[in-house]
Structure 1
Amino acid sequence: MDLTHILAFNLALAAAIASPGPAFLISVKTTLSAGRHAGLAVGAGLGLMASLWTLSALLGLDVIFTAFPWAYVAVKTIGALYLLYIAYGMWKGARTPLAPSEVKPARHAFLQGLMINLMNPKSALFAAAVLVVIFPPDMTLAQKGLIAANQLVIELMFYALVAFGMSTSTARAAYLRAKSHIDRIAAVVLSALGLRLLFGR
């Protein structure tokens, strides 16, 4: 493994992180509704779990999912239902004004970020596919740990940029003005992603 492998992985990772999905949507929505600290916390949860999925793929977890399809289906189903649950909560609370007492604690935001990516086993399969293409097969345990640590740093940097960018007074004021519409759009998108995860292959 050399620097070109890491650079190629980081390019693929950047494209995956920035693509519209539940992780990106939750990071933006959390920052807008609950502030910068919650946005940083949810990003930390998302990034930590994503890097752990990559590490698990490096250690062969994708082989387990292939050998035991029921395990993959079980995790995928739970993840889809979790996304639908979050979407339902967003839709239901769309018209409710955002009160300071309702701001999400950082700990709760971190756990939500962790759960969003924990319940998406496709992350492990995607990581495995990318890793096989980019990295040589004879990597040491230390090199595998370095790849996961590299991903964690990239993920944390990305979600920190989202948290700082979306926590400006202008962005938050715009969100508060259009809260009901934004929350319902987010709920529909999350529902679609949840259904796709539930019924997709």
Structure 2
Amino acid sequence: MHSLTILLGILAALLVGVISPGPSFLLVARTSVAQSRRAGLIAALGMACGATVMALIALLGLHALLQSVPVLYTVLKVTGGIYLLYLAWQVWRGAATPLQVQGDGLPAQALTRTFWQAAATMLSNPKAAVQYGVIFAAMLPAHPEPGLLLMLPPAVFLLEGGWYTLVALLLSSEAPRQQYLRAKTGIDRVAGAVLALLGIKLLLSRQ
């Protein structure tokens, strides 16, 4: 019961960051409304897998490593910022291109690309990496029970996957999609600008 209480507390702390709007939310939302429900769910799966990998790395002492080797955080920050700027350019460049919604008939190659793009978006976010490291360091006991360590990664997968699955299901419905199609150029340019600002903010941040 003690381990379960700790696990629920960690998940509650993580949930605040998970539901906060950011690059991951923008990617899943745009994929869901612009492509298909299936593509949105694949993006949600990519986010969940990326977050699970991040949680595993955090359990291995990522936060302590970033503190002891500051240059590593700088490398992660620059990589993440450049990747966000790349995504911003891709979205902005295609803003005026007419969209033909393909429904759930997207080829496997496109879905695979969507998965890896989502996973890369999650893994390239050093702020999320630090969040996991800080929360684990603050809330895990000095000597956690093996069961707690085993439960954490799948619990993170369910938390992140559940939230982004909900986003994908809601935004891939017909009403949001039709609204998007009517205002695609403006919405994509706003999304591209937001991604660019997030990338610049990440590059200029000191920690």
TM-score bucket of the superposed structures, by smaller chain: over 0.9
Structure 2 gap segments, 5+ residues each:
none
Corresponding residue for residue 188 of structure 1: 193
Contact 2:51–2:122 (Cα < 8 Å) also in 1: yes
Contact 2:47–2:119 (Cα < 8 Å) also in 1: yes
Corresponding residue for residue 87 of structure 2: 86
Contact 1:9–1:134 (Cα < 8 Å) also in 2: yes
Report the Cα distance in structure 1 between the residues aligned to 2:5 and 2:148, rounded to whole angstroms: 14
Residue type of the alignment partner of 2:60:
L
Contact 2:4–2:148 (Cα < 8 Å) also in 1: no
Contact 1:55–1:144 (Cα < 8 Å) also in 2: no
Report the Cα distance in structure 2 between the residues aligned to 1:143 and 1:6, rounded to whole angstroms: 7
Residue type of the alignment partner of 2:186:
H
SS of equivalent residue, structure 1 residue 137:
coil
Report the Cα distance in structure 2 between the residues aligned to 1:100 and 1:33, rounded to whole angstroms: 7
Contact 1:76–1:198 (Cα < 8 Å) also in 2: yes
TM-score (norm: length of structure 1): 0.93
Corresponding residue for residue 25 of structure 1: 26
Q: Deviations over 1:99-150 (max 9, x none)?
A: 357x682111100011101111222211121122222121145422311110
Report the Cα distance in structure 1 between the residues aligned to 2:101 and 2:34, rounded to whole angstroms: 10
Q: Which moved more, 1:179-188 or 1:129-138?
A: 129-138
Q: 2:132 aligns with which of 124, 127, 149?
A: 127
Is residue 2:44 matched to residue 1:62? Answer: no
Report the Cα distance in structure 1 between the residues aligned to 2:150 and 2:127, rounded to whole angstroms: 20
Q: How many percent identity over aligned positions?
A: 34
Q: 1:162 aligns with which of 164, 167, 184?
A: 167
TM-score (norm: length of structure 2): 0.90
Contact 1:54–1:123 (Cα < 8 Å) also in 2: no
SS of equivalent residue, structure 1 residue 2:
helix
Residue type of the alignment partner of 2:163:
F
> How far apart are residue 51 of structure 1 and its match?
1.9
Count of aligned positions: 201
Contact 2:81–2:199 (Cα < 8 Å) also in 1: yes
Corresponding residue for residue 152 of structure 1: 157
Q: Per the alignment, do residues 90 and 81 of structure 1 end up closer, same or farther by CA in structure 2, a change over 3 Å counting?
A: same
Corresponding residue for residue 184 of structure 2: 179
Q: 4+ residue stretches of structure 1 with deviation over 4 A?
A: none
Residue type of the alignment partner of 1:124:
A
Alignment RMSD? 1.8
Report the Cα distance in structure 1 between the residues aligned to 2:204 and 2:132, rounded to whole angstroms: 21
Corresponding residue for residue 75 of structure 1: 76
